[in-house]
Structure 1
Amino acid sequence: MIEIVDKVEIVFNLSMLAFIVGSMLTLGLGLTVAQIIAPFKNIRIVIRALIANFIIVPLFALGIVNWLPVTEGVRIGIILASLGGGAPFIPLIVATAKGHVGGAVGLMVLLLLVTIFFMPIAVPVMLSGVSVNAGEIAKSLVTIMLVPLLLALLINARFSGIARRIQSFTAVVTKISVVVLIISVLFLHTETILSNASVLPVIVLFFLGAMFIGYFFGGKKSHVRIIFSVGTALRNPPVAILVASQNFSSQPWLLLFPYLLRLLVH
C-alpha cells in the first residue's frame, strides 16, 4: 500500500507540473504583444483592477478566515487563493457571459504578471505565523510560470502557424493533467476531504464576495463590470496549486480549493 501511495504522489507531482506549465504555454501561444500591452493603456481601469484584486480581495479573505471557524488548511487556502489573480480561463468564462473577450484577455495578462511578482512578497506578510520561503516562491513562479509564458509568446510572435498547432496539443495535455491531478489528490486525501466537507459554504462565500468586489470596481460600463466580476472572482489555480504544493503539501484542502472555486462557475 505504501508503494502505491508513493507512486500516486509521483503522479500528483508530475500532473501538477504539467498543469501549470501547460496552462502557461497554452496561454502564451494564443497571445500577441498587442494584447499584453492593451490593458496598460487605460490607467484608471488598471488601478481599479489592481486595487480590487490585490488589496480588497485579500483583505476580504483575511476577514473571512478571522471571522469564521475554519481549519488551518482552509485558512491558508483562502488566503493563497486571494493573493493570486489572472486565471487562464477568464476569457472563456467572459465569452460565455457574452462579455468583451479582448478586454478579458488584457485583464488576465495584467493580473497574471502582477501576481508572479506580488505573491512572493504578500504570502509571508499575510501568513505571518507560517514558515514560508519568499525566495523559493519567487523562483518557482518565475521558472515554472513566467519562463514558459515568455517562451510561448516568443514562439507565437515568430512562428504563429506552428504556435497554433502546438497550442492545440498543450491545451489537451493541460485538460488531462487537471483530471489526473484531482484524482490523485482524492486518492491521497479522501478521508480528510470528506471530514471537512463543511468548508463548501465558506468557498461559496469567498467566491461570491470576490465577484461582488469585481462588479463594484468595474464601474458604470456593463462590459467592464462583467470582465471585472469574472476576473476578480476567479483567482489563479496554477499559482495557488504551485505555492500550496511546495510549501504546504500536508494540507490537502489547499490543493483542492482552487478547483472547487473554479467548479462554482461552470
Structure 2
Amino acid sequence: MGTLHLLFNAVTVIFIAATMFTAGLGATVAALRGALTNVPLLTLSLIANMVAVPLLGWGIGALLSLPTASFIALVLVASSPGGPFGTKLAMVQKGDVVAAGALQVLLAAIGSLTFAPTVNGILTAAKVGKGISLDVGALVQTVALLQLVPFVIGLLLRRYAALTAQAWHPTAAAVSNVTFLIVLAGMLLGNWRDVVALLGSRTLLAGFVLAAAAFAVGTLLSTGPPVRRTAMGGVTAVRNAGPALAAIGIAFADQPAILGALAAALLSGLAAALPIATLLSSRRSGPGNP
C-alpha cells in the first residue's frame, strides 16, 4: 500500500507539472501580460476565490447541517483556491488557457498565504474545529516548484524556441491528459471505502453544489469574452487539495473521517465541473465555431 501511495503521489506531481508546462507552451508573453495586468479581472478573481467561495462553503455546510468532519473538509476545500485541475478544465472546455494558467498559479500562491487564516476564521466563527498552524513558506515553495516553474519553462520555450514548443506541445498535452485520468482513478480507488460510506449523505451533495456554485460565481465575477469568463469559472470551481491535505495532517492528525470527507467533496466537485466544461467544449466545437 505504501508503494501505491508513493506511485500515486508521483503521478499527481507529473500531472500538475505537465499541465502547467503545457499551458506555458501554449502561452505568449503578450497574452500573459494582458491577463496579469487586467486589474478588473484580477480584482474580481480575487474576490470570487478568496471571499465568495469560502463563504459559500461555510453557508452550504451550515445549510445542509453537515457533520463536523464533513463541514471541516468542505471549509478546507472552499478556502484553498488555485487547484491545477482548473487549468485542465480550461483546456477541456477550449477556453482561455493562458488567462486560466496565469491566474491559477497566482491564486495558488496567494491562497497558500490566506488559507490558514481563512479556515481559522470560519471554523472559529462556526464554533467548529480548532486553530490551524501551517508552514506557509513550505506551501509557497511547493506552489512555485510544481506550478510556477513548469509554466515559466514552457512560456520561455514558446518565446525563444517556438518550433520546439510547437513540437513538444502535443506530447505534453497527452501526458497531462493521461495522468489526469490516472489521478482521478487513484482518488476514487484510494478512498473508495470512505466515499462509499458517504453515499446517500449530504457530503457528496455539498461538494457538488459548492463546485457548481463556484463555477457560476467565477464566470460572473470575470471580464472579457465568454472563453475567458468560463475559463475563470473552471479555475474558481476547482480547489487546491495540497493545503487542505497539509491542514488535515498538521491540525487534525490525519483523521480518517475528515480525509474521507475531503476526497468525497473533491470528487463530487469534479463531477460537477467536468460536465460543464465538456458541454462548453461541445458547443464551441459545433457548426459555425472555430
| TM-score class, shorter | 0.7 to 0.9
How do 1:122-137 and structure 2 match up within 5 A?
122-128=114-120, 129-137=131-139
Runs of 5+ unmatched residues, structure 1: 96-100
Amino acid in the other structure paired with 2:241: I
Contact 2:22 2:173 in 1 (8 A): yes
1:91 is matched with 90
How do 1:95-110 and structure 2 match up within 5 A?
95=94, 101=95, 104-110=96-102
Question: Using the alignment, how far apart are the partners of 1:190 and 1:79 within structure 2?
Answer: 20
Amino acid in the other structure paired with 1:75: I
Please state if 1:201 is matched with 2:205. Answer: yes
Question: Using the alignment, how far apart are the partners of 2:236 and 2:267 within structure 1?
Answer: 10
SS in 1 for 2:132: coil
How do 1:172-187 and structure 2 match up within 5 A?
172-187=174-189
Runs of 4+ in 1 over 6 A off after TM superposition: none
Deviation at 1:175, TM superposition (A): 1.9
Question: Using the alignment, how far apart are the partners of 2:77 and 2:23 within structure 1?
Answer: 22
Deviation at 1:115, TM superposition (A): 1.2
CA RMSD of aligned residues (A): 2.8
Given the superposition, is the C-alpha separation of residues 158 and 138 from structure 1 closer, same or farther in structure 2, using an over 3 Å criterion?
same
Question: Using the alignment, how far apart are the partners of 1:154 and 1:140 within structure 2?
Answer: 21
Over residues 211-233 of structure 1, what are the superposed CA-to-partner deviations in whole Å (9 max), with x where a residue is unaligned?
332354347x8x45x64355235
Question: Using the alignment, how far apart are the partners of 1:77 and 1:176 within structure 2?
Answer: 28
Amino acid in the other structure paired with 1:169: T
Amino acid in the other structure paired with 1:209: A
Bigger CA drift: 110-119 or 41-50?
A: 41-50
Please state if 1:213 is matched with 2:221. Answer: no
Query: What TM-score comes out, normalization by structure 1 length?
Result: 0.80
Given the superposition, is the C-alpha separation of residues 178 and 214 from structure 1 closer, same or farther in structure 2, using an over 3 Å criterion?
closer
How do 1:43-192 and structure 2 match up within 5 A?
43-68=39-64, 69-72=66-69, 75-85=72-82, 87-92=86-91, 94-95=93-94, 101=95, 104-128=96-120, 129-192=131-194
Residue correspondences, number = 251
Contact 2:76 2:244 in 1 (8 A): no
Given the superposition, is the C-alpha separation of residues 257 and 57 from structure 1 closer, same or farther in structure 2, using an over 3 Å criterion?
same
Query: Once the two structures are aligned, what percentage of the paired residues are identical?
Result: 19
Contact 2:79 2:115 in 1 (8 A): no
1:98 is matched with none
SS in 2 for 1:143: helix
Deviation at 1:84, TM superposition (A): 1.3
Over residues 51-90 of structure 1, what are the superposed CA-to-partner deviations in whole Å (9 max), with x where a residue is unaligned?
2232222222232234431452563355334531471134
Query: What TM-score comes out, normalization by structure 2 length?
Result: 0.74
Question: Using the alignment, how far apart are the partners of 2:210 and 2:229 within structure 1?
Answer: 16
Given the superposition, is the C-alpha separation of residues 10 and 45 from structure 1 closer, same or farther in structure 2, using an over 3 Å criterion?
closer
Contact 1:39 1:110 in 2 (8 A): yes
Deviation at 1:192, TM superposition (A): 0.8
